[in-house]
Amino acid sequence: MTATTSRTVCISGGTSGIGAGLVGAFIEAGDRVVTFGRDPEKVAALAQRRGQAVASGALRLLVGDVTHADFREQLVAEIRDRDGRLDVLVNNAGVILSQGDIEETVEAWRTTLEVNLIAPFALTQGFLGLLEQSAAPVVINMSSACAQHPFETCTSTSYSASKAGLEMLTQRLAMALGGRGIRVNAVAPGVVESPMWGGASDLIDSTVKRRHRLRQEAIEPCDVARAVLFLASEDARRITGACLNVDAGYALG
């Protein structure tokens, strides 16, 4: 992968799971990372684990909710005042609030769409001016293999629908922002060992055995991070509007 100079990277939901893996990968690549989460304890735990990066200024952490407009404004101001530009935006924050099809509540749907679909649009919109200050701006949205087929193992309809919407948003933004030199892509993981799955270890095991065609193992956060690093790199300079599956064949059906 082509080496890059130090970039300013913003990762939503970077305190655990895939997000924490992304934070570590970009720091190790020599970039400056700004990330945030809603849970102060998780933010503090990440600060402790990444103490050296925090001390050097390679990692900055905030506590806030991506669905709140005032926090998004604070985040944009933080990066504008400290960095003057944004090179990479990774819309990673996501939730699965409930399981079911018609049984899910409207409230669960609303919150899921706010976090998984509306917030990525709002963050991209809010950062547009700072992205335009970058020599090679990139937006990467975290989708899911559940967006691509109504698998019976994807047991939250609101989650699957929100991620399907995110993939279309990725394509629409790629069309809209290409003329400004901004690339927009997505990554769609399969089953990842992540706190998002909670205590559903049995579901993870059965899904991996049935759907992961490659080695029947859960995806690790580092696998997803490698794909994101590639899409954020100069090696992917002609790639926009794409969704890269990191799913061990999950979406093959």
List, in order of start, the domains of the chain with CATH numbers.
8-252 (3.40.50.720)
CA distance linking residue 122 with residue 111, whole number of Å: 15
Question: What pLDDT is attached to residue 208?
Answer: 54
Strand partners for 184: 139
Write down the catalytic residue from 159, 245, 246, 250.
159
What is the DSSP secondary structure assignment for residue 101, as one 8-state letter? S
Residues making up the chain, counted from first to last: 253
Would the pTM count as exceeding 0.85?
yes
List C-alpha distances in Å: 55 to 6, 29, 61, 88, 223: 17, 17, 11, 22, 27
CB contact at 8 A, 145 and 251: yes
CA distance linking residue 89 with residue 34, whole number of Å: 10
CA distance linking residue 130 with residue 100, whole number of Å: 40
Among this protein's residues, is 250 annotated catalytic? no
What is the DSSP secondary structure assignment for residue 178, as one 8-state letter? G
Per-residue pLDDT of the chain (253 residues; tens, 9 = 90+): 554 579 999 999 999 999 999 999 999 999 999 999 999 999 999 999 999 999 999 999 999 999 999 999 999 999 999 999 999 999 999 999 877 788 899 999 999 999 999 999 999 999 999 999 999 999 999 999 889 988 776 778 999 999 999 999 999 999 999 999 999 999 999 877 766 555 555 555 555 555 555 566 677 899 999 999 999 999 999 999 999 999 888 777 6
The type of residue at 58 is A
Q: Which residues make Cβ contacts (< 8 Å) with residue 232, sequence separation at least 6?
A: 7, 9, 26, 88, 90, 138, 140
Question: What pLDDT is attached to residue 190?
Answer: 85
CB contact at 8 A, 78 and 62: yes
